[in-house]
Amino acid sequence: TIGGARTVRAYGLQAEHDRRVTARSRAAVDLTMSGVRLVLRFYGRLHVAEYLGLAAVLLTGFLLVRDGAVSVGTATAAALYFHSLFTPVNTALVLLDDAQSATAGLARLVGVVDVHAEEGAADGAAPVAGPPGVVLSGVSHAYVPGRPVLHDIDLEVRPGERVALVGTSGAGKTTLAKLVAGLHRA
């Protein structure tokens, strides 16, 4: 997500993240396209069946009208009735497609809820050994060359220790935190 972009940058994982996003995006596009091709083949065959059936009704109507067995109106009515049968069939198929899409969406939603439930269960897990402390020695930073925001900063934070950065606005608290997080380079 966009919110995680800074974390990806901080750990220098841009190339790996780009590769994973590209691969997963390609897989999603390929899957979507195979689904679209399947639907297009199905509806294409359905339309061919409709047109072949209508052609058969029209041919039969022509032959019956030619032999005087039925009137032109009767043959036309038969063709129109046959043609009107496909509107409810197509409507039912579209509704079925919508129902399947809704079912898939619900399954994704239930999956997200299940993931959050599993994460909640893991809250009672034993803590994992965290990263080592933070040590900065002689760190300086300038957003604009020649105008340092931080100059020769030394800081040591031991593992498990909490530190509050206090100072006036513009003193460099956020800049220091971003340097520690790896979002800025000294």
Per the structure, the complete domain to which residue 69 belongs is given by 2-124
Do 8 and 17 form a contact (C-beta atoms < 8 A)?
Answer: yes
Q: Are residues 119 and 38 in the same domain?
A: yes
Q: Is residue 105 part of a domain?
A: yes
Instruction: Give, for all 186 residues of the chain, the pLDDT tens digit.
Output: 666 777 778 778 888 888 988 999 999 999 989 989 998 999 899 999 999 999 999 999 999 999 999 999 999 999 999 999 988 988 998 898 888 888 887 877 776 666 555 554 445 555 556 667 888 899 988 888 888 888 899 999 888 888 888 888 888 888 888 888 777 776
C-alpha 99, offset from chain centre: 20
Q: Is residue 129 part of a domain?
A: no
Q: Decide: pTM greater than 0.95.
A: no
